[in-house]
Amino acid sequence: MRVYLDNAASTPLDPDVLAAMMPYLTEVQGNPSSVHSHGRTVRAAIEQARRTIAECMGCTPAEIVFTSGGTEADNMALKGCAAAGHIRRIITSPLEHHAITHTAETCAQLYGTEIVWLKPDTRGNLSLSELESYLKDSTVPTLISLMHGNNEIGTLNDIAAIARMGKQYGALVHTDAVQTVGHLPVNLADIPVDMLSASAHKFNGPKGVGFFFRRAEAPQLPTLICGGSQERNQRAGTEAVPAIIGMAAALKKSVEHLPEKTRHLLDLKQYFMQGLRQHIPGVDFNGETADDRALPTVLNVAFPGTDDEALLLYNLDIYQISASGGSACTSGAVGASHVLTALGHSPLRMAHSIRFSFGYQNTREEIDYVMDKLRILMADTVQA
């Protein structure tokens, strides 16, 4: 049996999404910026996709900009605000994806932007009191950039409360919602962030496409990718038409089936946790695990007594089970997870930690198979 439990890295392309994309890969031709009928047909399809995404997100179509993915959208938010002089300080967290942490550090180098790192607790929770302490009695123009759900440990931030606090003190607020869009309710009519990043391949859409939301009332940002006048002069380059069509189809299907999808994911996660606790003494979990405080898709497991994460991942791969040691974007790097390091875990615990992440295509039968192989591997480790 082949089991894919690395959905936080990338989800399988939904067959219905592929079907929606196919005409734009094989039949419908034309550059969407062209004025002839072929171009107008493609332009109409892109704008319908924009409307579909806006309806799913609770915003207006004009507030959606198509990008190559979440990383580009994160760069648009942080670099855009810093380059335009809208901010002189970024408040963020060491738990963020490197698309945020590295971009913030680049802003510090290029524009002299101050970076404030909030301190998480051992489960990855951030203190709103600490955040408020940096905001009150301060006149420094500030951008708060905090992710909605953590890609490595699954802990959720109360991004609506964070956004309201930002508004109270006059700060701009951005959230990397790459792990939550399409998996949890994200309604921008209720969550008053100024900017948001999302990526299609996290919710069963195609790779290489995402979107950036900028609220109409938020300051205008400079163009980071220059060239043509696409995306209302906010992002130059011919649009990736089939991918955009697929992203809209994927998000629409995810939102329409969100309740049953979430129930299925939570069932798999809780079933796996129960099996781990029952069959592997000493097992623990990194990050929050309560349903209302964590992603339904992510479970970061600290195993007892394994030699190291790489060996366990290798042995799982022999059994055709795909999991991860952390973010796929840094999986080839040498060293401990920056997220687990920020939580204050020991090198030994970090070396024994594996991220399993679930998708709608996974089943209890697959979880049983994984548990059976883990019991064998852990028994071999104890005997060794």
The CATH number for 302's domain is: 3.90.1150.10
CB 24 within 8 A of CB 45: yes
109 and 168, same domain (yes or no): yes
Mark which of 256, 288, 314 sits at the end of a domain: 256
- Catalytic residue at 329? yes
Q: Which of the residues 56, 59, 226, 329 is marked catalytic?
A: 329
71 and 184, same domain (yes or no): yes
Please tell me the pTM assigned to this model. Answer: 0.95
Q: Write down the mean pLDDT value for the chain.
A: 94
Cα distance between residue 284 and residue 300, in whole Å: 9
Categorize the per-residue pLDDT at 326 as very low, low, confident or very high, splitting at 50, 70 and 90.
Answer: low
**pLDDT of 325 strictly over 90:** no
245 and 115, same domain (yes or no): yes
374 and 326, same domain (yes or no): yes
216 and 278, same domain (yes or no): no
- Please report where in the chains the tokens 């009928």 appear, as a residue: 37
Categorize the per-residue pLDDT at 71 as very low, low, confident or very high, splitting at 50, 70 and 90.
Answer: very high
Q: What's the mean pLDDT in 289-302?
A: 97
Domain span at 229: 15-256
Query: How far, in Å, are 198, 210, 217, 227 from residue 243 at the CA level?
Result: 14, 9, 28, 21
Q: What's the mean pLDDT in 325-345?
A: 74
Categorize the per-residue pLDDT at 305 as very low, low, confident or very high, splitting at 50, 70 and 90.
Answer: confident
- Number of independent structural domains in the chain: 2
318 and 218, same domain (yes or no): no
Which CATH number goes with the domain that contains 200? 3.40.640.10
233-287 tens-digit pLDDT: 899 999 999 999 999 999 999 999 999 999 999 999 999 999 999 999 999 999 9
180 and 262, same domain (yes or no): no
**pLDDT of 306 strictly over 90:** no
pLDDT for 166: 98
Mark which of 236, 256, 276 sits at the end of a domain: 256
242 and 289, same domain (yes or no): no
211 and 327, same domain (yes or no): no
80-101 tens-digit pLDDT: 999 999 999 999 999 999 999 9
pLDDT for 384: 46
282 and 213, same domain (yes or no): no
User: Which of 74-78, 131-135, 221-225, 325-329 has the weakest average pLDDT?
Assistant: 325-329
CB atoms within 10 A of CB 105: 15
Mark which of 206, 227, 256 sits at the end of a domain: 256
User: Which 8-state DSSP code applies to residue 30?
Assistant: S
**pLDDT of 137 strictly over 90:** no
58 and 203, same domain (yes or no): yes
Q: β-pairing, 114-117 with 142-145?
A: unpaired
Straight-line distance from the first to the last Cα atom of the chain, in angstroms, rounded to the nearest whole number: 27
Cα distance between residue 198 and residue 99, in whole Å: 12
262 and 317, same domain (yes or no): yes
